[in-house]
Structure 1
Amino acid sequence: MTVVPYKDNSASKKEQVSTMFDNISGKYDLLNRLLSGGIDIYWRKRAIALLKPEKPQLILDIATGTGDLAVEAHRQLKPKKIIGVDISEGMLAQGREKMKKLGLEEQIELQMGDSEKLLFDDNTFDAVIVSFGVRNFENLLKGLTDMFRVTKPGGTCVIVEFSKPSSFPMKQLYAFYSNTVLPAIGRLISKDQSAYSYLPESVQAFPDGKDFLTIFEQAGFQQTQCKKLTFGICSIYTGKK
């Protein structure tokens, strides 16, 4: 079953996700910090640190949003160039403002782009990175396959995504928080009635852990690994081309 933000809407998941992020873009960073207690910053740091030995010079940040992962990649890796793509113009506008304030407009270029139909040549990027984006793909395998296509041979893909804790009591606590507290705060601050109900629903429906690695490998990636963080609330997946 495909989980979508606006259940009464007949638009495709891709269109609905784009609309949702346009709607919440102004409050997105604030809500991220608030709802995760700031731990999302730590998750991104851990993910990018995995690329340090490889010193990638050209990096693609998929579903870049407001560019937080791209900024972290620049801070740790100092590559020549990072290109961020996203389907939400609202999120990109927030991201461009952020790059301007940080003086990173030359190093980090943000552009409209469909993660499942990337407008880049085969074998272009040393690394492809994603944080909390693959869950929103309309077709997960198609999106991952296109990410594989644009990665250079020997290059690495790093994906940060929510996952489902499986041990007591974290499983029960997380379920209560994500189904009750998170949607209430999200609705209050973002004024979007559906966006923060969609988030836990999309996490629940997402094939995490070994199930994700199976699809990751179907897309072509090898030497795949899954590293669980914070009692299994978040996972970092890595794969090589």
Structure 2
Amino acid sequence: MSEREENTTHFGFKTVEEEKKVELVAEVFHSVAAKYDVMNDVLSMGIHRIWKRFTIDCSGIRHGQKVLDLAGGTGDLTAKFSRIVGQEGHVVLADINDSMLKVGRSKLRDLGIEGNVEYVQANAEELPFPDNHFDLVTIAFGLRNVTDKDKALASIYRVLKPGGRLLVLEFSKPIYKPVSKFYDFYSFNILPKLGKLIANDSESYQYLAESIRMHPNQESLKEMMENVGFEGTEFFNLSAGIVALHRGYKY
């Protein structure tokens, strides 16, 4: 295998050089940032709110603790965690994309959420935080866009305190064939058309559909988490496995 082949990865169904993927993903989220929340509601028919509520319920987060909402986008989880941890706690909304961070900061300030929230532009593979720092790290609908997922999971493990936990909320593999067939039809025929209609961007939503298909399935992601040191790892299938929540602990 040539050095060029060794340094390639997938961008949706395309094969690209690893360093190029970060740039391509950035272009997608620069494009969709302004309409991100609207599209989430339309494309999931509002169900993403239930998935995120389940994530909050599984977090075990308490008053005064520290949370990293990684790839936190427009801050839905950050808003909830900010209220739970209170002013004695601290929430970091981190995203590699500055357009998403700007939308998130503006949205949360409009909601009156300030004081205990910090905004950091950061790459999940090389988190700029101390070892053993956070009680909880969440990454919702972001891990599939990371170039080196193993490196990102190891970076997350490093910044978690002993006893801390990781929650990965991500699109996954439907567990029933009829659901899978409908989901494929919706993803590749309806989703890009809605992207064009609402956000004037069909290509970004075509990529999002493809990126979901390239993401590890439930068992594979669980194994990846265990390989970097997470224990007590488990996952919960939501909406028949269209989405899964993985949880692991650093002991």
Q: Return the TM-score normalized by structure 2.
A: 0.90
Counterpart residue number, 1:133: 142
CA distance 1:108–1:53, shift in 2 (3 Å): closer
What amino acid is aligned across from residue 18 of structure 1 in structure 2? Answer: A
Q: Specify which of 41, 47, 53 is matched with residue 49 of structure 2.
A: 41
- Between stretches 118-127 and 77-86, larger displacement belongs to 77-86
Q: How far apart, in 2, do the equivalents of 1:212 and 1:69 lie?
A: 21
Query: What are the Cα deviations for residues 106-141 of structure 1, in whole angstroms up to 9, with x where unaligned?
Result: 122222111111101110101111100101100000
Unaligned runs of 5+ in 1: none
**Map 1:86-235 → 2, pairs under 5 A:** 86-235=95-244
Contact 2:94 2:119 in 1 (8 A): yes
Matched, 1:57 2:65: yes
CA distance 1:8–1:46, shift in 2 (3 Å): closer
State the SS of the aligned residue for 2:125: coil
Q: Specify which of 4, 10, 19 is matched with residue 11 of structure 2.
A: 4
Report runs of 4+ in structure 1 exceeding 3 Å deviation: 5-11, 53-56, 75-79
Contact 1:92 1:112 in 2 (8 A): yes
What amino acid is aligned across from residue 200 of structure 1 in structure 2? Answer: A
Q: Alignment RMSD, CA only?
A: 2.0
Query: What are the Cα deviations for residues 40-74 of structure 1, in whole angstroms up to 9, with x where unaligned?
Result: 01101101111236667000011011111211223
What amino acid is aligned across from residue 135 of structure 2 in structure 1? Answer: D
State the SS of the aligned residue for 1:26: helix
Q: How far apart, in 1, do the equivalents of 2:15 and 2:248 lie?
A: 37
Matched, 1:74 2:82: yes
1:222 Cα shift?
0.7
1:182 Cα shift?
0.8
Q: How far apart, in 2, do the equivalents of 1:96 and 1:80 lie?
A: 18
State the SS of the aligned residue for 2:124: coil
Query: What are the Cα deviations for residues 130-168 of structure 1, in whole angstroms up to 9, with x where unaligned?
Result: 100101100000001000000001101111000121313
What amino acid is aligned across from residue 201 of structure 2 in structure 1? Answer: D
State the SS of the aligned residue for 2:51: helix
Unaligned runs of 5+ in 2: 1-7
What amino acid is aligned across from residue 150 of structure 1 in structure 2? Answer: V
Counterpart residue number, 2:5: none
State the SS of the aligned residue for 1:2: strand
Q: How far apart, in 2, do the equivalents of 1:233 and 1:152 lie?
A: 31
Query: What are the Cα deviations for residues 80-114 of structure 1, in whole angstroms up to 9, with x where unaligned?
Result: 11001111111111001111111112122222111
Q: How far apart, in 2, do the equivalents of 1:30 and 1:53 lie?
A: 28
State the SS of the aligned residue for 1:116: helix
